[in-house]
Amino acid sequence: MSTAKRQIASLRDEYAEMTRQRIVAAFVEALEDEAVDDISMAAVAKRAKVAERTIYRHFKTRAELFAAAGEWIEDNVFSYIPFTSPDELPEIFRKLCKRFDRHPHLARAIAMTRAGRRVRAGFRRHLIDQHRKAMAPLVRHLPAKDVRQAEALASYLNNVLAWNAMREDFGMTSSEIADAIEWALTTLLKDVRQRDAAAARSGRAGQKAGKTPRKRTAAAKAPT
């Protein structure tokens, strides 16, 4: 391929990516402004200033567009904050509350509307997986049921749904919400650690008790 043709191909790819990003941004704007359960592709096309068929050239299905919008929101609006320990979650949620405050309509839309829930499905799965990994060292000795409960509570306290419910149902400010979530998470993690330690002690006691009868049996069989 000649240099000129490569340049043309590069410009074409660049323009296609710009169009793709404009479509995603237009979808997110529609979600934030309208906060409705369903957003038509015609409305997105109008906002993006492209033909509706252009959307389907870049996104074969609505699901592809929703997934791309979720990634765009995570990268450009609310931003994923990495963590390795559940003890970091209260401070992370406090930062997220401030970001939700800057985009309250979008935060509510992804929490409450059907379209918003589909948009956040991808990054919620990612966050749930991160919560599970972070909680793993704390729940090594707990039964599977308790582990699931601990993971679920940690994950859903650190969630836009919690922010939205406390804001709308109780009229709480983001600072008050962050304080309440910190209290809940701190209480949860303390209880989880206590339960895991108790389970570990119980397991060690059970192991020792299991060895004792075998020693006694061996002693009983020894010649007198």
**Average pLDDT, 10 consecutive residues per value, the chain (224 residues):** 62 84 93 78 93 93 91 87 92 94 92 88 88 95 96 92 95 96 97 96 77 48 46
Give pLDDT, residue 33: 83
DSSP per position, 157-223: HSSHHHHHHHHHHH---HHHHHHHHHHHHHHHHHHHHHHHHHHHHHHHHHHHHHHHHHHHHHHHHS-
Give pLDDT, residue 13: 74
Give pLDDT, residue 222: 46
Give pLDDT, residue 74: 87
Give pLDDT, residue 86: 93
